[in-house]
Chains A and B, each alone.
Chain A
């Protein structure tokens, strides 16, 4: 099966969720009660990634149900964990529909993990990670600027300065940037969204300015920013609705790659030109690729690892996965970080790649803080070659090929011998099933 089939499967899952969400959860069912349930909260930007994990875990025997509440946003989800807070509904993986769906709990349940794209220090009224909680990093996601797919191809790129103009002035007044000159067609997110926080960090605009609601709040002293404040999925559907209309040229928004890549048939990702950069680059090698080459090298600026949070046992080292208090949550985060061996049927690499994120082992640059300066990074056990195969990278290095033993590789490292990554194209949640075991020649 093809890579594109796998992507369509992911789209179907999210599309089903979108329908349920837009219907006001009128069709929510009771959350599954068999097996084990893990309750999380966080941003909608990571929904695609959560869906991939949820699908794999739901197919375990006995099943493990991830119930994820994203009714707030990144920082709200974090607060759900550290406050602590209970939830009474969430998204779960419907194994029949093979899609995310909303379910209600028969009893309120405490959140045991949180997910967001930024560190806690970026959240309102939060200076650092709460005592008694651990922060664990997962795969890397990019933040993408997107426009309707039918917008003129003359618009291929956006600069930091242009983003400042667009979301700072909201197409009101003389500082309007053509063709993005219709306030209602400029999409933004809430002030506690990871995407808004990062756009604020990048442009030095206050998040409250970026997230100004429409219609204007009427502050006479401040020009209004009458843009659309929407969730990730409503941003996408709003931009898609502009396709083929007179508003298609003026539509623009920003999404995580998890969402943007899922809907590439409806929205187009722009190249991004960070301040001081002489050209704009896509997260991928080209506008049509999915290889995340420029994220991996650090040439695309807007990226961050996914942050996972969980309570640790009292007095323990909060940096160790082994000290996570809730056993099921410890397993989940341990599988993601590699600290706990994955059981059969759980393939974190598969989930991360299908969600358009980059496992750390495929990165060649890293950073230690939110949008901080990148530095060269050599993973201790690279998976770059496997990632290239999984994403169909057109320009793999000559040394990157399949293998069955170290001697097959000029690099001397034949790694990840197992089912071929062609199994990435299988339905979400099913285990890898390649024609035979292969490995990939990695640099180390």
Chain B
């Protein structure tokens, strides 16, 4: 007994081969200009216990200021210095209720991430560790456009 799905899958297998070459013509992304230039030295920190830069919120490509983050004893992962360049949006505001949501859902709008960089580089929650991938490992990549694949 052949189900209608069996018959359709066979057709799909034939058709899919026709679309592969055409798909190669799609351009790759060049939206990488903001990728941070990696730093070489690494040292042990814990994303939880390391205090963020106290100079205020900054973008994802801001300069490293985390020299005070080198002494964490319970580090799990080696990460570079500028991984501490997190935004302050995640930090509990003074007087904000401590909750599951931290300050995330507090009434104070200054306490919430508003933009993608703020979401992505928010100061990590308690106990959170992170590990930086050094894009300098990628052949020929300088933080700009990615190489075309054809």
Q: Which of A321-376 contact B (CB under 8 A)?
A: 364-365, 373-374, 376
Q: B28 touches which one: A164, A219, A297, A299 (CB < 8 A)?
A: A164
A175 close to B (CB within 8 Å) = yes
Contacting residues, chain A, for B79 (C-beta < 8 A): 279
Q: How many residues of A contact B (CB 8 A)?
A: 88
The interface bits of chain A over 145-174 (1 if a CB of B lies within 8 angstroms of the residue's CB, else 0) are 000000000001111111011001100001
Distance (whole angstroms) from the CB of A352 to the closest CB of chain B: 17
Contact between B139 and A382 (Cβ–Cβ < 8 Å)? no
Interface-side segment among A27-35, A47-55, A72-80, A246-254: A72-80
Distance between B69 CB and nearest chain A CB, rounded to angstroms: 12
Given contacts A278-B83, A279-B83, A297-B104, A373 and B116 within 8 Å (CB-CB): yes
The smallest beta-carbon distance between B66 and chain A, in angstroms, is 10
* A177, B82: Cβ atoms closer than 8 Å: no
Interface residue ranges of B121-150 to A (CB < 8 Å): 121-122, 124-133, 135, 137-141, 146-147, 149-150
In the docked arrangement, what's the CA distance between A76 and B13, Å?
A: 11
In the assembled complex, the Cα of A221 lies from the Cα of B150 at a distance in Å of 8
| Residues 13 to 38 of chain B near chain A (Cβ within 8 Å) | 16, 19-24, 26-29, 31-32, 34-36
Interface residues in B99-118 (C-beta closer than 8 Å to A)? 99-102, 104-105, 112-113, 116-117
> Given A159-B133, A208-B23: A286 and B149 within 8 A (CB)?
no
Q: Using Cβ atoms and an 8 Å threshold, which residues of chain B touch A395?
A: 48, 125-127
Please give, as numbers and ranges, the residues of chain B lying within 8 Å of A443 by CB-CB distance: 97, 99-101, 105
How many B residues have CB within 8 A of the partner chain? Answer: 73
Complex interface: chain B residues within 8 A of A142 (CB): none
- Pick from B9, B121, B139: contact of A177, CB below 8 A: B139
Given known A-B contacts A212-B20, A398-B98, A279 and B131 have beta carbons under 8 A apart: yes
A278: chain B residues within 8 A (beta carbon): 36, 60-61, 82-83, 85-86, 121, 132
Chain B positions within 8 Å of A204 at CB level: 26-29, 31
At the interface, yes or no: B55 with Cβ under 8 Å from chain A? Answer: no
Q: Which residues of B contact A162 (CB under 8 A)?
A: 133, 135, 137-138
Q: Is B94 an interface position by the 8 A CB rule?
A: no
Contact flag A108-B99 (CB < 8 Å), given A212-B20, A364-B104, A395-B125: no
Q: CB < 8 Å: which of A275, A298, A376 contacts B32?
A: A275
Interface stretch (choices A82-90, A310-318, A431-439): A82-90
Q: Contacts A157-B132, A161-B135, A274-B120: A205 and B149 contacting too (C-beta < 8 A)?
A: yes
**A376 with B127: CB separation less than 8 A:** no
Rounded to whole angstroms, the CA-CA distance of A273 and B134 in the bound complex is 10
A38 to chain B, nearest CB (A): 16
**Inter-subunit contact B24/A71 (CB<8 Å):** no
Q: Are A71 and B5 closer than 8 Å at their CB atoms?
A: yes
Q: CB-CB < 8 A to A191: which residues of B?
A: 16, 19
Chain B hits for A398, CB < 8 A: 98
State which residues 115-166 of A face B: CB under 8 Å.
Answer: 124, 156-162, 164-165
CB-based closest 8 A-B pairs = A204-B29, A208-B23, A384-B100, A279-B83, A395-B127, A156-B131, A279-B130, A206-B23
User: Can you identify 12 A-B contacts, CB atoms within 8 angstroms?
Assistant: A124-B19, A162-B133, A176-B139, A177-B138, A204-B27, A204-B31, A278-B121, A282-B130, A364-B105, A365-B119, A384-B101, A400-B100
